[in-house]
Amino acid sequence: MEGRLLLRLSFLLLLVGGAMALLLLLMHSGTQEDQLLAAASSVIGNHTLRKQQKKSVLREPRRGRDMFFEQVDHQKEVPHHPLDPLTIQEFSKVKRILSNYNPDTSSSIHSLVLEEPEKGEVLAWNKGKNPLPTRKASVVTLVGGRSHQLSIDLSSGHVVQDKVSTTSGYPPMTIEDMTAATAIPLADAEFNRTIRSRGVELADLACLPLTGGWYGGPEEDGRRLVKVQCYSMEGTANFYMRPIEGLTVLVDLDTKKVVKISDVGRGIPVPKAGGTDYRYESQKKNQHHKAGGQRLLNPISMEQHKGPSFKVVEGHQVRWGSWDFHLKADPRAGVIISQASFRDPVSGEPRSVLYKGSVSELFVPYMDPSDAWYFKTYMDAGEYGFGLLAMPLDPLNDCPRNSYYMDGVFASSDGTPYVRANMICIFESYGGDIAWRHTECPITGMQIREVRPKVTLVVRMAASVANYDYIVDWEFQTDGLIRGKVGLSGILMIKGSSHESVPMSRGGGNEEEDLHGTLLSENVIGVIHDHFITFYLDMDVDGSNNSFVKVELVKQATEAGESPRKSYLKARRSVAKTEKDAQIKLGLYQPSEFHLVNPTKKTRVGNPVGYKVVPAATAASLLDHEDPPQMRGSFTNNQIWVTPYNKSEEWAGGLLVYQSHGDDTLAVWSERNREIENRDIVLWYTLGFHHIPCQEDFPIMPTVSASFDLKPVNFFEANPILGMPPNFEMDLPVCAAASSSAYGS
């Protein structure tokens, strides 16, 4: 029992931590650093492969990588670019410097990343000509309940700044926080009694450390809290479908004590395990039964017999078509795109578009006010770390053939570096779309049928925030467009219920409304919730100084006798002077374009050179602005914001989001109403989803996606892909079957 429980424990502890946790265990058994690295890598390398083979599922042996790309040796890595992330050697150096500076920080490191040089320095840096700017590390530690933001100079080896935070909130939980949190209830007699009274064996327990937000209660003051809820793993890999409903354990992360156990779910059965497993191994069994309904599809693959057209230079610099940009993994943002520039089709000169783009924060409020649910209003980047939750991608399925896989190198809570392999992939995409076309009538002197296929470059990561999976794509197009796309998949957060069928009276349906969601299966409710993903977009359109221009389409009535028409639409341009001019709520009947222009640059005929942000399907937060979760997530009060560039304003919910009161958010900064005309400005765009679950989301959700575009608007003199060639038969590959096949056509 002991051993079994321990194994389970180690599992629980790891639910959120992913690979980091393995390290943790190894560290406890006193392993050396490079062994750690090996181990960490192996988590997705041989380890995975072995596991899979045991299940007789063969995984792609990184074919793309082997064929066209070199594997990076992180042990030997050195920085080549001012924005390159910290290397293994640099992490180790930081660790040494810190332990000399203040031993208390040795296991309380909540964030450790490169401190990017001043923007001016980076822009001035000239590859080859200049040496790299001084390498610095930015560290957030928690000492004696106070958050410290340290700046460490790697050349001098000194801590050059130690700023104690003045705002509310704490840094993201560490793995120790989470592991301890999920373990603590098991030491509690009342908890164990309750679990058994629900008919669940402790050995089958899976518990999650759920962030509780902040509601202004006195018990929340001056201490870091987390709420633990548990599930039964008995009979399914998909334990999320088997909640022990209504049982919430409030835990103090620092005293490591149970503060309060709330058990309001007695009598609510744990939903059945049947039909919840989604793994191929378990599905294969009923393939034949299914065959009637599911005609299997023949294989289809994007093939590039000459290899991909993009290059990854010195680890992080991506070159494709007319695009150049810097790419790196970040523990909090996930993916960071930097210095994206587009080579002008006429001059051949690179022109800047985006200095830095990343996911800044997420906000995921659930719509159930009851005791076990009201607090579920997650801010995944600032509470858990969006990048830390990005698991290794699955070659051939997460990303197509010929993808390049980039690893993340992160620090665990004592500064020990580890590798998150295959965290990001880069690939070219062609799905049959058309870049541009025109056909004239087929006869006459000019027989014209000119069509160009559309090929794009995709940068992808997938973060698994416990149950949910977020697929984040940055798509670069040959015509200068950048698309930010978020796909939602994974598993719903489920509420246990005594209902086995939808309560009747569908007319009024009040009873049903009180479910706060949809009954997906017997005793299983998918609770209504929203997802908001706020993007940080430091646009540098043909230079750093830009202006935000709102181009409204307004209905114009014609004057008497002016025209047989009574009305038409007119474009009215207004330049935002200050931040409040750029607080934008979208409306179908108040259509506008939103341009970022360089007021000092014009096209040949005099249009200001610009890019526009083009929203697509999205959702707005409707919560009360005075509701504590919305105060913390107030960066979703508008869909678009523009702020003057400020190095410290990077995280829309604040640097310290955990239990924050909302006193350091984008909304607060923007209220300062600073001048933004002809300045270095930052665009913030929030992508939203309302999710009313349906049975198709059970037991795992088909991907739902939404996106926004950054699109050139008079940035070029003309269509930049005028010169691209069409496809010719002779250039396409000739393909044949490989050896044996797993399934027929």
Of residues 261-300, which lie at the interface with a copy of itself (CB under 8 A)? 275, 278-280, 283-284, 286-287, 290, 292-300
Q: Residues binding a copy of itself: what is the number (CB under 8 A)? A: 233
* Cα dihedral sign, 73-79-80-84: positive
- The interface region with a copy of itself, picked from 75-83, 176-184, 189-197, 447-455 by CB under 8 A, is 447-455
Are 429 and 456 in contact by the 8 Å Cβ rule? The answer is yes
Are 706 and 616 in contact by the 8 Å Cβ rule? The answer is yes
Tell which one of 114, 180, 249, 520 touches a copy of itself (CB under 8 A). 520
Which residues make Cβ contacts (< 8 Å) with residue 564, sequence separation at least 6?
Answer: none
Other CB atoms within 10 Å distance of the CB of residue 550: 17
Tell which one of 7, 67, 124, 313 touches a copy of itself (CB under 8 A). 7
Which residue, 147 or 638, is less far from a copy of itself as judged by CB?
A: 638
Burial of 33 (0-12, 13-18, 19+ CB in 10 A): middle
Q: Which of 263, 380, 469, 540 is catalytic?
A: 380
Q: Does 469 bind a copy of itself (CB under 8 A)?
A: yes
Tell which one of 66, 346, 600, 675 touches a copy of itself (CB under 8 A). 346
- The interface region with a copy of itself, picked from 46-54, 121-129, 245-253, 644-652 by CB under 8 A, is 46-54
Q: Does 719 bind a copy of itself (CB under 8 A)?
A: yes
- List the interface residues with a copy of itself, window 87-146 (CB under 8 A): none
Long-range pairs of 298-306 with CB within 8 A, sequence gap ≥ 24 = 298/745, 301/400, 301/401, 302/400, 302/401, 302/402, 302/427, 302/428, 302/429, 302/430, 303/401, 303/733, 303/735, 304/401, 304/402, 304/428, 304/733, 305/733
Closest contact distance (angstroms) between CB of 466 and a copy of itself is 9
Which residues make Cβ contacts (< 8 Å) with residue 381, sequence separation at least 6?
Answer: 332, 333, 334, 359, 360, 361, 362, 651, 653, 657
Tell which one of 304, 358, 416, 546 touches a copy of itself (CB under 8 A). 304
Closest contact distance (angstroms) between CB of 149 and a copy of itself is 29
Question: Has 380 been annotated as catalytic?
Answer: yes
Q: Which of 468, 470, 536, 685 is catalytic?
A: 468
* Cα dihedral sign, 620-623-629-632: positive
- List the interface residues with a copy of itself, window 10-39 (CB under 8 A): 10-11, 14-19, 21-22
Closest contact distance (angstroms) between CB of 422 and a copy of itself is 10
Are 26 and 36 in contact by the 8 Å Cβ rule? The answer is yes
Question: Which DSSP symbol is given to 273?
Answer: -
Q: Which residue has the tokens 């796309």?
A: 485
Question: Which DSSP symbol is given to 370?
Answer: S
Which residue, 91 or 427, is less far from a copy of itself as judged by CB?
A: 427
Are 713 and 577 in contact by the 8 Å Cβ rule? The answer is no
Are 188 and 261 in contact by the 8 Å Cβ rule? The answer is yes
Closest contact distance (angstroms) between CB of 215 and a copy of itself is 4
Q: Does 479 bind a copy of itself (CB under 8 A)?
A: yes
Tell which one of 154, 471, 642, 682 touches a copy of itself (CB under 8 A). 471
Question: Has 468 been annotated as catalytic?
Answer: yes
- List the interface residues with a copy of itself, window 697-716 (CB under 8 A): 697-703, 705-706, 712-716
- List the interface residues with a copy of itself, window 662-701 (CB under 8 A): 690, 692, 694-701
Q: Does 248 bind a copy of itself (CB under 8 A)?
A: no
Which residue, 19 or 340, is less far from a copy of itself as judged by CB?
A: 19
Residues taking part in catalysis: 380, 468
